Homo-oligomer: A and B are copies of this chain.
Amino acid sequence: MPKVGMQPIRRSQLIAATLEAVDQVGMSDASIAYIARVAGVSNGIISHYFKDKNGLLDATMRHLMQALSDAVHERRAALKDDSPRAHLHAIIEGNFDDSQVNGPAVKTWLAFWATSMHQPALRRLQRINDRRLDSNLCCQFRRVLPPAAARAAARGLSSLIDGLWLRGALTGEAFDTARDLQIAYEYVDLQLAKV
């Protein structure tokens, strides 16, 4: 049923199918045929919209990054309190947004991380993401801490966020987001208390 203007619809549909497929069978078994079957379309359509499988994976990673970016921005935009502490909390919460901690997203992120070590294109995206979090955190810490301390605090907090996320991912069970947030909040307070 060919229609005009299907491009954005199909692209979203195929990215969603990719996440679902990776969730179900893992990245290495998420073949084009499998993803197409999940999406309920033919194999060939993927090349039509994404040129090749790499294009689809690239778009999927960008989708996850965009969702993370949005989750953080929304929370920060909604803040009434402009304090560093409030911003740091918003950033942390954004990183534990449902778009980031649901099963498919978690498994896909992890697969991307592993893959990115040998794929320059993915690696570039990866580093953009890493640095964005680090720099966001560092900006806030710098408002109250001396530069060196701010940098260390930022690295500590970004690592703690990733670590909590990773541990949550690897358990396979649902995230205990509340507990993880508490641990991260506490780290923020301990760092800010240094002043």
Which residues of A are at the interface with B, using a C-beta cutoff of 8 A?
A: 25-29, 107, 110-111, 113-119, 123, 126-127, 130, 152, 155-156, 158-164, 166-167, 169-172, 179-180, 182-183, 186-187, 190
User: What is the predominant secondary structure among interface residues of chain A facing chain B?
Assistant: helix
Contacts of A110 in B (CB 8 A): 113-114, 117
Q: A117-B107, A126-B170, A171-B127 are in contact. Are A179 and B159 (CB under 8 A)?
A: no
Query: 20 other contacts beyond A26-B117, A159-B166, with CB at 8 A cut-off?
Result: A26-B114, A27-B114, A29-B118, A107-B114, A110-B114, A110-B117, A114-B114, A126-B170, A130-B170, A152-B183, A155-B167, A156-B160, A156-B183, A156-B187, A159-B163, A160-B163, A161-B163, A162-B166, A162-B167, A163-B164
Q: Is the CB of A156 within 8 A of B186?
A: yes
Contacts of A111 in B (CB 8 A): 114
Q: Most chain-B CB neighbours within 10 Å: which of A158, A159, A186?
A: A159
User: In chain B, what residue has the closest Cβ to A161?
Assistant: B163
Chain B: minimal CB distance from A162 (Å): 4
Please, could you name 19 A-B residue pairs with CB atoms under 8 Å apart, sorted by A?
A25-B118, A26-B118, A26-B119, A107-B117, A113-B170, A117-B170, A127-B170, A130-B170, A155-B164, A156-B160, A156-B186, A156-B187, A158-B167, A159-B164, A159-B167, A159-B180, A160-B160, A161-B163, A163-B166
